[in-house]
Amino acid sequence: MSILVPRYFKEDIDPRRRGLLIAALEAGLLGPSLALLTSEPADAALLGNAPGKMPAGRSIYLLEGAATVNGADASIGTIIKPGDIVETSNASRMIFVDRGNAHILRENARVELPGASDTANVLRVVTGVLLSVFGRRKRRLVTATATVGIRGTGVYIESDPEESYICTCYGTADLIPYGSEEVEETVISEHHDEPRYALREAQTGKRFRRAPFKNHTDLELALIESLVGRVPPFSFTLDQFDSPTNSY
């Protein structure tokens, strides 16, 4: 069977998460019932719809564990709006869309979405881990240690008070140190080529240093791109999925 999935699968992940993501992509392209999305029956209650572009009036694709939107408990039917604050608790995960952008928010994380009148279009990753794909509009992602200026990219962030991790999965990003408005470095990435650690305090004159690729996958990127009607710029077929993977 030849179906579209990401070209490289970079991360060794648990079989349940891997199986769920593969089945979700298959379901979105081939159209079986929601039951085929799940590696365990309990998963079905967590999924709002088969992958594919999210319909109008829906925001959350998957909700695992407990999460809140503006302090109120979230459910699969919760609508996420500009300016909302989304938080996950321990052992939780949320996959959601926001105005042509899509996100995976992992456990113990907090993000503040840009408001409708926010001309700078600033998304704040206050704590935790976020994997996002964005449309062509310019925006800024603010972490605890840096600001990232992007447009039309995929970005993975681990926001830590002293040292954040930033991977520009594809596209161009301007890296701006904490407390500054000046770009220290511009990275251009085709496929996770330029990950960086962002230091809150300079150690050798620069705040950004090279980092390895870690903790996120092309399959996750393909899943969330599908929720906004797009595909990532690297893909091939499922029959090559288990071929050897590269590492950075």
- pLDDT tens digit at each of 248 positions of the chain: 334 444 434 445 555 556 556 555 555 543 333 333 333 333 433 444 556 899 989 999 999 999 999 999 999 999 999 999 999 999 999 999 999 999 999 999 999 999 999 988 999 999 999 999 999 899 999 999 999 999 889 999 999 999 999 999 999 999 999 999 999 999 999 999 999 999 998 766 789 999 999 999 998 999 999 999 998 887 544 443 333 333 32
Rounded-to-integer distance, Cα 38 and Cα 143, Å: 33
Please report the pLDDT score of residue 48 as a whole number. Answer: 47
Rounded-to-integer distance, Cα 133 and Cα 223, Å: 10
Please report the pLDDT score of residue 235 as a whole number. Answer: 59
Please report the pLDDT score of residue 40 as a whole number. Answer: 39
Q: Which of 155, 129, 149, 124 is nearest to 137 (CA)?
A: 149
SS3 45: helix
Q: How far is CA 221 from CA 21, 68, 82, 168, in A?
A: 10, 23, 22, 12
Please report the pLDDT score of residue 234 as a whole number. Answer: 75
**In sequence order, what E strands does the chain have?**
4-6, 60-64, 67-69, 72-73, 85-88, 93-98, 101-105, 110-112, 122-133, 138-142, 146-151, 154-159, 163-177, 185-189, 196-199, 208-210, 235-237
Please report the pLDDT score of residue 30 as a whole number. Answer: 35
Rounded-to-integer distance, Cα 131 and Cα 21, Å: 15
Q: Which of 52, 56, 51, 58 is nearest to 74 (CA)?
A: 58
| Angle value at C-alpha 225, between 220 and 227, nearest 5 degrees | 105
Q: Which CATH code for domain 4-240?
A: 2.60.120.1440
65 alpha carbon, distance to own chain's centre: 18
Rounded-to-integer distance, Cα 37 and Cα 29, Å: 12
Please report the pLDDT score of residue 233 as a whole number. Answer: 85
Please report the pLDDT score of residue 43 as a whole number. Answer: 41
Handedness of CA 98, 104, 108, 109 (dihedral sign): negative
Per the structure block, which two tokens stand in for 123?
């998304």
Handedness of CA 33, 38, 39, 42 (dihedral sign): negative
